[in-house]
């Protein structure tokens, strides 16, 4: 009986601690809306990628990275290769193929370039990060040996010797509900590269947003953007309109904010292993999917898409609905949500890069800027 009473009070205490954590987050949550500003996308130019027998993009990872010369790096998921074009769309070179060798790739989740034009590629099949230099030689492979988490983000950033990736704790992966393991999971892993030992020394920033406990979804993937000037990291989730901003140096929470626009949907049903892919997809149509978060000189925000029944059969990007919500970078106030005609794949140097046509014969990238009306 005595043991039962002790356990009861321990569980009650832990419950109160967690409730205080969630209440603290909610108390910190900023709901300020909205500034009387009207914005629109203004088109700057279109880049048509040169059609080359070795350089046509069959199925992009829906990401684009730039080196310091303005060259564009795409990854083709069909042929497991990187394709490089110059800033005007002229084909330069390609490298890589399917496999597990030095310049072979199997299940690329994310890639990025650092200030020295080293290419960092996270291959989930290897649970490792390959580093390729600007001469396209493999210089390092860093294996993820820690079994306490999984890399789940399609974002990877490099600042100095630190590699940033989004993760999910192994305990949360194993659960079938919005459990405490999810909320307590570390959010961002900072892997410090040790060139002598080819190992990653890990530390962490943040934990998952407690708001996710109220959403029926299996898609909790972190998405993030690092502001090198402010030395902050802006984090959201694939299935949430809310943001957490952390100090890059201390890891402390700076701001917790967000505004749920009318066309942002939240999950109503979870996927089921007993249903086929189409049934699961149709049951998830109520849920919006965040694709990326971004920052410009004046604004921060997220780009998300809403699925349709037509898209599952057509796989045509024009059958999806695209939106992005915009906030003031100065005070985090919500400004507006704009609808886009195309899929956004990158925001860099105040420019928005959209896939206007993914036909391999005439792949087009539209470049836009956000202006006040």
Q: Which pLDDT band holds residue 352 (cuts at 50, 70, 90)?
A: very high
pLDDT digits (tens, 9 = 90+) for 183-220: 889 999 998 876 555 556 678 999 999 888 887 776 78
Residues with Cβ within 8 Å of residue 340, at least 6 apart in sequence: 41, 303, 322, 323, 324, 354
User: 140 phi and psi, to 5 degrees?
Assistant: -155, 155
- d(C-alpha 63, C-alpha 365), whole Å: 12
pLDDT digits (tens, 9 = 90+) for 19-50: 444 444 554 566 656 667 899 999 999 999 99
pTM score of the predicted model = 0.87
> Sign of dihedral through CA atoms 196, 199, 204, 205?
positive
pLDDT digits (tens, 9 = 90+) for 233-253: 999 999 899 999 999 999 999
Q: What value does the mean pLDDT take over residues 74-93? A: 94
pLDDT of residue 180: 80
pLDDT digits (tens, 9 = 90+) for 43-78: 999 999 998 777 778 788 899 999 999 999 999 999
Residue with tokens 């391999």: 360
pLDDT digits (tens, 9 = 90+) for 137-166: 999 998 887 788 889 889 999 998 899 999
């Amino acid at each position: 009986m005595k043991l039962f009473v002790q356990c009861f009070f321990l569980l009650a205490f832990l419950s109160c601690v967690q409730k205080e954590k969630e209440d603290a987050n909610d108390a910190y949550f900023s709901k300020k809306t909205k500034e009387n500003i009207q914005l629109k996308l203004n088109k700057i130019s279109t880049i048509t990628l040169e059609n080359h027998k070795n350089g046509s993009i069959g199925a992009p990872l829906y990401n684009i990275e730039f080196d310091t010369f303005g060259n564009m790096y795409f990854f083709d998921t069909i042929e497991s290769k990187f394709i490089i074009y110059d800033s005007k769309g002229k084909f330069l070179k390609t490298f890589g193929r399917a496999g597990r060798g030095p310049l072979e790739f199997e299940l690329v989740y994310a890639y990025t370039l650092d200030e020295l034009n080293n290419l960092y590629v996270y291959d989930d099949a290897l649970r490792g990060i390959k580093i390729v230099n600007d001469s396209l030689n493999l210089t390092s492979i860093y294996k993820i040996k820690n079994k306490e988490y999984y890399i789940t983000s399609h974002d990877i950033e490099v600042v100095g010797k630190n590699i940033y990736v989004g993760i999910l704790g192994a305990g949360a992966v194993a659960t079938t509900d919005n459990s405490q393991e999810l909320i307590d999971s570390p959010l961002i892993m900072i892997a410090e590269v040790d060139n002598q030992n080819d190992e990653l020394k890990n530390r962490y920033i943040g934990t998952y947003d407690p708001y996710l406990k109220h959403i029926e979804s299996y898609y909790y993937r972190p998405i993030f953007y690092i502001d090198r000037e402010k030395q902050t990291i802006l984090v959201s989730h694939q299935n949430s309109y809310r943001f957490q901003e952390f100090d890059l140096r201390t890891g402390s929470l700076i701001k917790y904010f967000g505004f749920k626009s009318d066309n942002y949907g939240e999950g109503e049903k979870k996927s089921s292993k007993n249903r086929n892919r189409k049934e699961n997809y149709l049951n998830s149509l109520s849920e919006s999917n965040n694709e990326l978060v971004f920052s410009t000189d004046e604004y921060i925000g997220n780009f998300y898409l809403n699925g349709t029944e037509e898209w599952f059969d057509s796989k045509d990007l024009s059958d999806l609905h695209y939106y992005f919500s915009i906030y003031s970078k100065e005070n985090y106030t919500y400004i507006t949500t704009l609808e886009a005609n195309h899929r956004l794949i990158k925001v860099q140097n105040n420019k928005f890069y959209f896939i206007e046509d993914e036909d391999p014969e005439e792949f087009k990238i539209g470049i836009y800027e956000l202006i006040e009306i």
